[in-house]
Chains A and B, each alone.
Chain A
Amino acid sequence: MSNPAMTAETLYDAEAASARRRWVTSRVIIYAILILFSLIYILPLIVVILNAFRDLPEINHNGLIAWPQSFNPDYWRQAWDTYCVGGTCAGVKGNFFNSLAMTIPATIISTALGAINGYILSKWKFKGSDILFGCMLLGVFVPGQLSLMPWAYLLGKIHLTNSVYGLILIHCVQGVSFTTLFCRNFYINIPDDLIKAARIDGAGFWRILWKIILPISPPILIVTIIWQFTGIWNEFLFGVIFTSGTQQPITAALVALGSGGLSVHAYNVASAAVLIGAFPPLLVYFLGGKYFVRGLTQGAIK
């Protein structure tokens, strides 16, 4: 036993002890509040997950919010394969694939266009390029529903109504303002000297983009991809209006779930369908979330 340890134990400092007590109390209160609010936020998700496995009679008897007495994964299969949505009884799988077929190309195309736009508007400025950028920014603020009528007219003209391709076109155009804004704000912070050095080195427009700009871009591209993917996947206004039946993306199909009309509400199958519809954006966010926060601050502040 060493001497300093003895004195440390034997000396009682009333001031330090009360400070310590106060610290513990405040921590307990803070964490209690934080846990309470986390529960409130997570509760809907838990309820939906639990209901996706409960039998319908039990839900009807015990109510939606209750501890499950049964466990049946078959409702997931039903939601995917056989459940009747809007007249056809093939589950949501078709709509799920519609959503994928719409979201993936639209995300890639709009991000690529945004990167090229941002590169031009920051590194190859021309007369009026700042005004052009200002005009493109308007697209960020104008609500999507304002463009419903023009789109209806245009899609009719080019025969892309009730088609996934029509939705891809819409989301590419609607999304390009955002992706351009993100990329341009990121690229504006890349020193111009890099471009000048590359020009003297003999690289042209595309080679500089490919070899110098894009290798620096992953932070902003990840942000843009997450933003576009979740945004396009979750969007349903255009889906509901311009497509129907088998052509609908899953978000539009889920709307039909809620307005089921005559049939009995199958809460369990509906829960499973909702979860299926929510899965891809969640997955994307889990995979890229940390880059999202990092990249957003890079683009926005620095």
Chain B
Amino acid sequence: MASLTIRNAFKNYGAVEVLKGVDIEAKQGEFIALVGPSGCGKSTLLAMIAGLESVTGGEIWIGDRMVNSVAPKDRDIAMVFQSYALYPTMTVRENMLFGMESRNVPKAEQKEAIERVSNLLQIQALLNRKPGQLSGGQRQRVAMGRALVRDPQLFLFDEPLSNLDAKLRVEMRTEIKKLHHRVGKTTIYVTHDQVEAMTLASRIAVMHQGQVQQFDEPQTVYDRPSNMFVAGFMGSPSMNFIPAQLVDDGGKTAVAIKSGSGEPAKLALYNGAASRAAGKDVILGVRPEHLFRYHPDLKAQKPGLATLTVPVELVEPTGAETMAVMKVGDVEIVGRFDPDGAPQMGENITLGVDMSHACLFEPSTQRLI
């Protein structure tokens, strides 16, 4: 049984359409990440699931119940806010008790829940403190604790880590993942950070302009993005997009790329049977980590390797890896190289392009071919 089903959800603010027909289904125990740039409607969608925003059109089901007109408190959900939203005048214990008291949970059960959750999150020592006396990470923990005492059908997270510094964010990310494994509750997690979405989610819904662009497992979203928006959004640095043309290259289909003057370079497609229409314009999408300094030995390891010679414009070492900006025709592409043997500025490098991971997009619709 699905624990959350969203069917064709619409949301308008006056004449402004924020959501335009969203369909998402979460199976029992799944961790769904809603990811997208700001303004894509992901937080609105979460607020609609929580019942904090009304639904203009479509249906939202939690479990086997249509909740469109059910009050937030009766939806059997718990939510963690970006600002934590801890009640400032109450101690940590009172913060966690507030919901249970509102719902008239028996005292013994309240005590048991506080004990269980404070052990789980290791916040026993903080129970008598006020939110003002806690650090950012501790507040985050308490905010999760307040959600966990409820034992709801659905957990909602609204960008819970974006107020933390980079190091703490990574720590808490791991912690949320562990927690989800232990608790096993269906979770909807809103974030604009694609790394968070990739690491945490069992499935990712990439949203843009009020629509779900792709809803699939993280690796699929990364490897086979359904369109250029998803391809560009997921991954950092983003996927390189190179205008190209399908050509026939000795019975196999290849893409021809104009680079500088002279003959266009031909890169054979990995699964390139001759079936594809030659002469068609396409956009070749290659991730930075699928560009290598070409070496004949590499060909044996990576059967889909094609070569391309380009000038190196800029080199950015980050320590673990070196990014290089190169020029292909009019477009700049970024490659991610091992610091040993990284390209030099001004060099004309022969790249090995791993075509087995490359994507082709239709230029007019920007969809994956």
Asked whether, in the complex, the Cβ of A197 is within 8 Å of the Cβ of B88, the reply is no
Q: Does A9 contact B (CB under 8 A)?
A: no
Q: Is the CB of B85 within 8 A of A211?
A: no
In the complex, are the beta carbons of B102 and A197 less than 8 A apart?
A: no
If A199-B73, A216-B89 touch, does A193 touch B99 (CB 8 Å cutoff)? no
User: Are the C-beta atoms of A200 and B89 separated by less than 8 Å?
Assistant: no
Which residues on A are within 8 Å of B, measured CB to CB? 191, 193-194, 196-203, 207, 211-212, 215-216
Question: Given the interface contacts A200-B72, A200-B73, A200-B79, does A194 sit within 8 Å of B85 by beta carbon?
Answer: yes
CA distance A238 to B19 in the complex (A): 56
Tell me which of B50, B78, B85, B98 contacts A203 (CB under 8 A). B98
Q: A194-B87, A215-B89 are in contact. Are A201 and B81 (CB under 8 A)?
A: no
- Interface assignment of B103: CB less than 8 Å from any CB of chain A: yes
User: In the complex, A216 Cα to B90 Cα: how many Å?
Assistant: 10
Query: Are A203 and B79 in touch, CB under 8 angstroms?
Result: no
In angstroms, Cα B78 to Cα A197, docked, is 9
Contact of B103 with A212 in the complex, beta carbons under 8 Å: no
Q: Which of A193, A198, A216 is within 8 Å of B98, CB to CB?
A: A198
15 chain-A/chain-B pairs, Cβ below 8 angstroms: A191-B85, A193-B81, A193-B83, A197-B81, A197-B87, A197-B146, A198-B98, A198-B102, A200-B73, A202-B102, A202-B103, A203-B73, A203-B102, A212-B89, A215-B90
Interfacial chain B residues near A207, Cβ < 8 Å: 102
Q: B360 in the interface, Cβ–Cβ < 8 Å? A: no
Interface residues of B (CB under 8 A from A): 47, 50-52, 71-73, 77-79, 81-85, 87-90, 98-99, 102-103, 146
- Which residues of chain B are near A202, meaning CB under 8 Å? 73, 99, 102-103
The closest CB in chain A to the CB of B96 belongs to: A201
Note all chain A residues with C-beta closer than 8 A to B102: 198, 201-203, 207
Partner of A197, one of B47, B51, B85, B89: B85
B321 CB to closest chain A CB (Å) equals 39
Most buried by B among A202, A203, A212: A202
Q: How far is the CB of B12 from chain A (nearest CB, A)?
A: 15
- Given the complex of chains A and B, what is the CA–CA distance between A201 and B52 in angstroms? 12
Residues of chain A contacted by B52 (CB below 8 angstroms): 196, 199-200
A200 and B78 within 8 A (CB)? yes
Chain A nearest CB from B144 CB (Å) reads 13
Chain B residue contacts of A203, Cβ below 8 A: 73, 98-99, 102
Whether the pair A196, B81 counts as a contact (CB closer than 8 A) is: yes
User: How far is A196 from B72 in the complex, measured between Cα atoms in Å?
Assistant: 9
Residue among B52, B85, B99 facing the most chain A CB atoms (10 A cut-off): B85
| Most chain B Cβ neighbours within 10 Å, of A199, A200, A203, A211 | A200
Check A201/B98 contact, CB under 8 A, given A191-B83, A193-B81: yes
For A196, list chain B residues within 8 Å (CB): 47, 50, 52, 72, 79, 81, 85
Residues of A within 8 A of B81 (CB): 193, 196-197
18 new A-B contacts, CB < 8 A, other than A199-B71, A211-B98, are A191-B85, A193-B81, A193-B82, A194-B88, A196-B47, A196-B81, A197-B81, A199-B72, A200-B78, A201-B73, A201-B102, A201-B103, A202-B73, A202-B102, A202-B103, A203-B73, A203-B98, A215-B90
